[in-house]
A and B are shown apart, each in its own frame.
Chain A
Amino acid sequence: MEPILQVKDLNYVYSAGTPFEHRALENVNFTLNRGEFVGIIGHTGSGKSTLMQQLNGLLKPTSGQVFLDGVDIWTDKKTTRQARFRVGLVFQYPEYQLFEETVYKDIAFGPQNMGLSQEEIHRRVLEAAGFVGITQRQLQASPFDLSGGQKRRVAIAGVIAMEPEVLILDEPTAGLDPIGRAEILGNIESYRKAKNATIMMVSHSMEDVARMTDRLLVLYGSHLAMDAPPAQVFARAQELVDMGLNIPQVTQIFLCLRELGLDVENVYTREQAVSLLRRMKEERVHA
């Protein structure tokens, strides 16, 4: 695995030296690798959003460092600016940030700021629209005539068009219906696959992170409490609940099965559950 983004001894304090001083991040260390899909879970106020903003230089660490390809993103102005293009952020409810007359212009806004040629901008807009399933006709429409789910996809396309090597999304599926959620998650996954991009997704949906991610970071009270594959994280059910989090419902079902006396392994997606149940049933029939 090839590391791309490294966070070292990161600390961040809001309103330092005032009565409102608040330590938002304390001694956070982790590494993101190229092509990885990483989830972040944590209660409200655990430091998720603060952390996101450290990763592309929107916030400067109080102490500690963020390295992109081994170079500290605060080395000089040029490096910081580059980091903002190479690490793309999609905030919560990004559809509220749409502002252009047409969907095309909105998606083109980011690449334009990068000073690319017109042909390159055009290529990127079309490609980004393709990733999120926006049609040629919709490109010429006003973003405000689209449905909520479509608007959100346009907003994500605007960031994808900058072709970030690391794409960070804050709750990209909040407020969407099941189909809308599945579409957005599929769009993100297809971008990752096509570009070998690193994805970091903040989510309150344990089902979504269980299904999509290779690895989970758990933030609790400004600390990085866990950094492990979903199977290992969700095996610590009680700790997660105590942290104000949860485990996927299928995991709960299998924990109940264990309480009933069955010797079952830890399961965290529906697909795993189905194949395990099937195997157990077949073994019984043939026993």
Chain B
Amino acid sequence: MKEEIISAEHLAFRYQGMDGAPDVTVFENLNLAIEEGSFTAVLGTNGCGKSTLAKHFNSILLPTGGKVYVCGLDTSDPDRLMAVRRNVGMVFQNPDNQIVANVVEEDVAFGPENLGIASPEIRRRVDVALKQVGMYEYREHAPHLLSGGQKQRIAIAGVIAMEPKCIVLDEPTAMLDPQGRRDVIDTVKRLNKEKGITVVLITHHMDEAAQADRVVVLDKGTVAADGTPREVFSQVKLLHDMGLAAPESVELCWAMDQLGYDLPLTMLEPKECAQVLYDWLKA
């Protein structure tokens, strides 16, 4: 068993109600562990607690009950705050809200500068980070003139320049065009496979989740499904009941099954789905 990099143990979290309204309970008793070096996708409907959970992973929010540990550090220990944030970097949905400088490379340098790292080392890290996200040739460009996908990759570079062990991405592709989405997901996968960075990806796009090693489905503050993409997405009925969906390949086979045909629900990619349909038609 690999080492756990993040673990939520009996996590409880409650928001205070506004203007005397009752408190809102997001989690009562959530248990979840993320293995070091893994690529986990987190799915769930709007309001299920995905973003709230992500914000617990680097001490933006602190549990009202239970504990969250990052690399064995208690996230609610104020003395460990910097260490926690150095280990877990976050990327949010809107690229425009997370870019601070007027030049790409200065933006990427912002994080390491705040860690008090020496200049030559910052230079090295910025160059490495920009190359890893495929944006090195844009290092002297103005971020606001880049496309959404490019800006999002700059935001990812800014996070990896801090050399975290884990990055948490909260719907990083929601505002991007198809090419931007492909580039961001490919970048994240590469960082995971080649650099061994642990990735937690929160998404509403089932085809993105299908590319992870593990899919966790949150529903009403609890883990409703957890397994490999094939295991989770083949539970189509459960997903539909929660207001979610499976990748289109699985949905197509499911629709055929509903008509009385017998097709497997484990085909996540168009190519493998086509092969199964071909064999079935020929049979």
B271 within 8 A of A: yes
Which candidate, B71-79, B161-169, B170-178, is the interface stretch facing chain A? B170-178
B148: interface (CB < 8 Å): yes
Contact A253 B270 (CB under 8 A): yes
A197 CB to nearest B CB, Å: 27
Contact A178 B245 (CB under 8 A): yes
Given A175-B171, A249-B207, the answer on whether A149 and B252 have CB atoms closer than 8 Å is: no
Question: Of the 9-residue stretches B83-91, B186-194, B274-282, which lies at the interface with chain A?
Answer: B274-282
- Bound CA–CA A273/B244 (angstroms): 21
Which residue of the partner chain A has the closest CB to B206? A178
Q: Are B46 and A176 in contact (CB under 8 A)?
A: yes
Q: Which residues of A contact B274 (CB under 8 A)?
A: 253-254, 256-257, 259-260
What CA separation (Å) do A180 and B45 show in the bound complex? 8
**A44's contact among B148, B245, B249, B251, by CB below 8 Å, is which?**
B148
Among the listed B47, B252, B271, which residue makes an inter-chain contact with A250, where contact means beta carbons less than 8 Å apart?
A: B252
Partner of B174, one of A44, A175, A270: A175
Residues of A contacting B: mostly: helix
Assess A148 versus B47: contact at CB under 8 Å? Given A246-B178, A249-B207, A284-B281: yes
Interface membership of B264, Cβ < 8 A:
no
A245 to B178, CA, bound (A): 5
Say which one of B56-64, B130-138, B255-263 lies at the interface with A. Answer: B255-263
Whether the pair A177, B243 counts as a contact (CB closer than 8 A) is: yes
Q: Per a CB cutoff under 8 Å, which of B244, B248, B255 touches A249?
A: B248
Q: Give the total of A residues in contact with B, Cβ under 8 Å.
A: 44
Find the B residue at minimum CB distance from A280. B281
In the complex, which residue of chain B has the Cβ closest to the Cβ of A252? Answer: B270
Residue B93 interfacial (CB < 8 Å):
yes
- Interface status of A123 (Cβ within 8 A of chain B): no
B270, closest chain A residue (CB): A252
Whose C-beta in chain B lies nearest to the C-beta of A22? B145
The residue that A43 contacts in the complex, of B21, B147, B256, with Cβ under 8 A, is B147
Residues of B within 8 Å of A, CB-based: how many? 43
Binary flags per residue of A64-82, CB closer than 8 Å to B gives 1, else 0: 0000000000000000000
User: Is A178 a contact of B178 with CB atoms below 8 Å?
Assistant: no
Tell me if B278 and A204 are in contact (CB < 8 A): no
Residues of A within 8 A of B21 (CB): 145
Q: Residue on A with the closest CB to B178?
A: A246
B180 at the interface (CB under 8 A from A): yes
Instruction: Please name the residue on chain A nearest to B45 by beta carbon.
Output: A177
Is there contact, CB below 8 Å, between A44 and B176? yes
Identify A277's interface contact among B44, B175, B277, CB under 8 A: B277
- Across the interface, do B244 and A253 meet the contact criterion of CB distance under 8 Å? no
Q: Which residue of A lies closest to B180 (CB)?
A: A44
Pair A44/B147 contact, Cβ less than 8 Å: yes
Residue A139, interface by CB 8 Å: no
A43 to B176, CA, bound (A): 9
Q: A179-B243, A207-B248 are in contact. Are A148 and B46 (CB under 8 A)?
A: yes
**Residues in chain A near residue B37, CB distance under 8 A:** none
Interface: A147 (CB within 8 A) = yes
> Hey, which bits of chain A sit against chain B, CB under 8 A?
42-45, 92, 144-145, 147-149, 171, 174-180, 204, 206-207, 244-246, 248-250, 252-257, 259-260, 262, 270, 273-274, 277-278, 280-281, 284
A-B contact pairs, 7 of them (CB 8 A): A175-B171, A253-B270, A254-B274, A257-B277, A259-B274, A260-B274, A270-B252
Q: What are the nearest 4 A-B pairs in CB distance?
A: A256-B274, A244-B179, A249-B248, A179-B243
